[in-house]
Amino acid sequence: MSYRLRLAHLYPDQMNIYGDRGNILTLTQRCAWRGIELELVPVGVGAAIDWPSIDMAFFGGGQDSGQALIADDFVRHQGPQLREAIEDNLVLLSICGGYQLLGHYFLTHTGERLPGVGAIDVHTVGGSVRLIGNIVVEAGDWPGAAGTLAPGTRLVGFENHSGRTYLGAGVRPMGRVLAGHGNNGEDGTEGAVYRNTFGCYMHGSLLPKNPQFADYLIGLALQRRYGAGATLAPLDDGLELVAQRTMVDRLVHG
């Protein structure tokens, strides 16, 4: 059976720092290697998107200036339909600024309250010190998918954020921080999971460094579109996994 998926890239011109576009390249290439047709749908300011036709979405991080340019459009223009799509199990990966905008609000260090779309139960508070460096996260128990990513899988990335994100009861963390700061540098959590939506601070870019996670997202999207029988053909990720283990050993075990 031939598969076809649609991937929405939210605000690619404004929200693309620390290699975040590499996540799009990774999803595209890993689909191509398997013969899965992946259509990329850029979502710019004012764009009209048929969200029910979208299988996966990516929302990267941006400089404060870039985030300011798109925040109002995202909240007012895309927010209502995107919330519906998330409730309908859209597969979505959001990083840093994109992660923050999916939550309820961002309270800046000057006391200004900036609204998010409220799609996931998190809020962010600005800090005076940036949390910067490589990060290792032990993944939690996530919803099932073809080629399920096993709980305890160690993911690597790079974080650079001043916002401290706190989770509400409506989400669970992506995982436990083994090295680095994570959501807020206080509670040992990184990221948030709600239905098929994942938010985190892991730049770097995330998916090339963690092919298991890339395939997990593709598998979720295939099962949502084509049913539980949709599976992914295996790929040879030997080199990628050696690089991943090397970073884990260096950061966790010293």
| Whole-number pLDDT of residue 56 | 98
CATH 3.30.70.100 is the classification of domain 4-253: no
Q: Which of 18-27, 62-71, 155-164 has the highest mean pLDDT?
A: 155-164
Is the model's pLDDT at 129 over the cut of 60? yes
Q: Tell me the mean pLDDT in the region 16-40.
A: 93
Residue type (1 letter), 38? L
Q: Tell me the mean pLDDT in the region 114-125.
A: 95
| Whole-number pLDDT of residue 151 | 81
Q: Tell me the mean pLDDT in the region 230-249.
A: 95
Is residue 154 marked as binding? no
Is the model's pLDDT at 68 over the cut of 80? no
Q: How far apart, in Å, are the Cα atoms of 75 and each of 27, 143, 232? A: 26, 27, 34
- Domain boundaries of the chain, sorted by first residue: 4-253
- Among left, alpha and beta (phi > 0; psi -120 to 50; other), residue 118 is left
> What rounded mean pLDDT belongs to the chain?
92
Confidence grade of residue 142 (pLDDT, cut at 50, 70, 90): confident
DSSP class of residue 96 equals: T
Answer yes or no: 96 catalytic.
yes
Answer yes or no: 123 catalytic.
no
Confidence grade of residue 1 (pLDDT, cut at 50, 70, 90): confident
**84 is written with which tokens?**
């519906």
Catalytic residue among 9, 104, 161, 203: 203
The DSSP H or E segment spanning 178 is strand 175-179
- Among left, alpha and beta (phi > 0; psi -120 to 50; other), residue 77 is alpha
Contact 151, 141 (CB under 8 A): yes
Q: How far apart are CA 60 and CA 58, in angstroms?
A: 6
Q: Tell me the mean pLDDT in the region 125-133.
A: 94
| Whole-number pLDDT of residue 124 | 96
Catalytic residue among 96, 104, 181, 200: 96
